[in-house]
Amino acid sequence: MHEHRDDTASKIGMWLFIFTEILLFGGLFIVYAVYRYRNPVAFHLAGEELNVIIGAINTVVLLVSSATIAMAITAMQQGKRRLSVRLLWVTILLAAVFMVNKYFEWGAKFEHGLYPGSDFLYSLSQGDVLFFGLYFAMTGLHALHIIVGAVFILFVIAYIRKGKVHETRWQLLENAGLYWHLVDLIWIFLFPLFYLIH
């Protein structure tokens, strides 16, 4: 009974945390919408500087990672601990692939001087400055959430190996899954806003 109360409190806490994260990104999406409305041409042209292929690959990577963590939860519920751990490692691997892609994408922007604070960017229009400022702020914050999510999953793997997460107590794993789905959901909005809506 005590464990059930702990699990319920843990789940409620995770949902409250997710709600605050949605508020945070929701506010940023509103800022983006306002600036895009005021600078439609600049946002259109700046958006063409982004690599749609890398963005699309990262979208697929995150969608697959959401599937693998969901499968890990199901495997744990069925008592298949080894399979669950393997699927969690695949999720972490996919997170690493996402971050490597993001590293190359950001690197290309830095090479061309399209980053906040660069003299070249400030020589362009205010709309360009706003676009790339929001691009780096929002995708950077999302990348931070990817790192936090990967660390969270590593803790879950450690708890599984210690026997603290198992087929009758998998709430921590489910919380990691909820957090990871949030990361995926945020990217589903970021990808079209920055890469596709021209």
Band of residue 197 on the pLDDT scale cut at 50, 70, 90: confident
Q: Which two tokens stand for residue 185?
A: 């959901």
Q: b vs e for 170-192, b when ≥16 Cβ sit within 10 Å of the residue's Cβ?
A: bbbbbbbbbbbbbbbbbbebbbe
Give dist(CA 34, CA 149) in Å, integer: 30
Q: Which two tokens stand for residue 152?
A: 């969270």
Residue 1 has what pLDDT?
47
Give dist(CA 167, CA 153) in Å, integer: 17
Determine which of 97-106, 120-129, 136-145, 187-196 has the lowest per-residue pLDDT on average. 120-129
Cβ contacts of 113 within 8 Å, gap of 6 or more: 119, 120, 121
Is residue 109 helix, strand or coil? Answer: helix
Could you report the per-residue pLDDT of 110-146, keeping only the tens digit for each?
998 888 888 898 888 898 999 999 999 999 999 999 9
Could you report the per-residue pLDDT of 170-182, keeping only the tens digit for each?
899 999 999 999 9
Residue 122 has what pLDDT?
86
Q: Which residue has the tokens 């489910």?
A: 174
Per-domain residue ranges of the chain: 2-196
Q: Which two tokens stand for residue 183?
A: 């990361």
Band of residue 150 on the pLDDT scale cut at 50, 70, 90: very high
Could you report the per-residue pLDDT of 30-70, keeping only the tens digit for each?
999 999 999 999 999 898 989 999 999 999 999 999 999 99
Top-level class of domain 2-196? mainly alpha
**Residue 2 pLDDT > 80, yes or no?**
no
Q: Are 97 and 61 within 8 A, CB to CB?
A: yes
Question: How long a stretch of residues is the chain?
Answer: 198
Q: Which residue has the tokens 């969901």?
A: 70
Q: Are 100 and 106 within 8 A, CB to CB?
A: no
